[in-house]
Amino acid sequence: MTSIIKVNEIQDAGGNTILSSNGTGTFTSNLNTPAFSAYLSSSQTVTNNVYTKIIFNSEILDTNSAYDTSTGRFTVPANQGGKYMVYHNILADASTSFSYALTKTYKNGSDTAINYNHNTIQPEAGVGYQFNVNSSVIWDLSAGDYLEVYLRFVGSGTLIANATYGCVFGAYKIIE
């Protein structure tokens, strides 16, 4: 004998809806949301030896309208606290040599994670020095917490961040 169970909604242990039906048998999932991914769609100049906030000004996705492309800030929406996978990547060119570059992910205005790249590569003909600094970390975030990414490089010249998917910032809530 086959049993059929009709379900309109499935909730996690915290009472958050993770699957819901629109009445037609089609389910939509709230798994791994809120989620956002943003990228730098135009170059941003970063001055030598100064922490500069990177404004990822174009969105690939933003399920809960929690990322602000004008400020470069992701804010955890109300009732959406929990563990988040947070990532960023900075691909950039230095006009002349540099000693090192690092990024910091700020949580609520304070630096909490540092990522470092030491210059061991030679310049590419016609391009200059290129480097990549990235991060991925799981953080426990509360509603209202906000995240931003800062970049600093030490060397000479001015750094121009490469645009369109070379520089990305994103996060998504993970299932606990």
**Which letter, b or e, does each residue of 9-23 get, where b requires 16 or more Cβ atoms within 10 Å of its Cβ?**
eeeeeeeeebebeee
How far is Cα 131 from Cα 99, in angstroms, rounded to an integer? 11
Cβ–Cβ < 8 Å for 164, 87: no
How many distinct structural domains can be found in the chain? 2
Residues 107-161: pLDDT tens digits?
999 887 666 655 545 556 555 667 778 888 899 999 999 999 998 877 655 556 6
Residues 15 and 86 in one domain: no
Residues 56-106: pLDDT tens digits?
999 999 999 999 999 999 999 999 999 999 999 887 776 666 677 788 899
In Å, how far from its chain's centre is CA 42?
17
Residues 153 and 137 in one domain: yes
What's the domain range around 23? 1-31
Residues 56 and 27 in one domain: no
Give me the CATH number covering residue 140: 2.60.120.40
pLDDT score recorded for residue 131: 74
pLDDT score recorded for residue 166: 78
How far is Cα 56 from Cα 72, in angstroms, rounded to an integer? 6
